[in-house]
Amino acid sequence: MFSPAARAALKAALNEDVGPGDKTSNFLVPSSAWGSAVLVARESGIFCGGPVIRELLRVTDRRLACGFFVSDGKPFRKSKILARIQGPVRGILKAERTLLNLLGRLSGIATLTREYVRRVSRYGTRILDTRKTTPLWRELEKYAVRTGGGKNHRMGLYDEIFVKENHKAHGRLGRLSKIPRRFFMEVRNLRELKEALVLKPRVILFDNFPPARLKGVLKLARRSDPRILLEASGGIHLGNVARYARLGLDQISIGRLTHSPKSVDFSLLIEK
């Protein structure tokens, strides 16, 4: 399901915690000890990370098996048992902290994304992520956005031509006229909007426009070329996202989905 790079990141995350070995478990727990542990929710949220956890356990010890009682994208309540892991106890303890960190982070992203999606659902506006992700964890974090009902923007610089403020100082923008409707373009004011409309991008991104100012320029863009998708980003949060959506935007991109979600709290408890 995940790329070799994502699998390598999972292995590196485990190695960061375990290093040359789990000293406590190796000293106290017999290598022959076999048991089980339950994953318990300490708060409510949207679950995300089942396939990630299966891969992490495979890397930890192929004898570990996990059964989930909730699937990715589904809600769960506080105190619910969400999964059971069985196998060598040393392996369970070795994976515990990395597993909980990953699951908390990904479920936090999915939970936050679901709330944004809910608040704009009546307007038909799509919620998108950005490239403001944890280095090396972008694939997993964007998976969590999809799990929460959002959509992914480009995965990296290699995906799209996306003209932003810093490209304009030295970029030869006239070259864009050769690829109409095959690029994104960010605009910050009316002058840049008019420039973009001449070049005919596929998407125009309105950067840091307050709602009152955005309303007028959206109307201008719709009248000029109704085929262009209109997007807003910057300064948008749960408290005002519905206000932006009802202006008629096609999509809203939100960096805080991945750069500042609250992790969901889980516990992993060994069963006696």
Q: Which of 132, 168, 188, 246 is catalytic?
A: 132
Known catalytic membership, residue 160: no
Q: Is 186 a catalytic residue?
A: yes
Catalytically annotated residue among 72, 141, 186, 231: 186
Q: Is 222 considered catalytic here?
A: no
Among 42, 62, 164, 175, the active-site one is 164
CB 100 within 8 A of CB 265: no
3-state helix, strand, coil in the chain (%, to 5): 45, 20, 35
Read off φ and ψ for residue 88, nearest 5 degrees. Answer: -60, 130
Annotated catalytic residue 207 = yes
Tokens describing residue 172: 């030869």
Nearest to 271 by CA among 122, 110, 85, 118: 85
**Which one from 80, 97, 146, 246 is the annotated catalytic residue?**
97
DSSP 150-215: -B---SSTTT--EE-GGGTTT--GGGGGGSTTS-EEEE-SHHHHHHHHHH--SEEEEES--HHHHH
Q: Which of 115, 195, 207, 250 is catalytic?
A: 207
Q: Give the residue numbers marked as catalytic.
A: 97, 132, 164, 186, 207
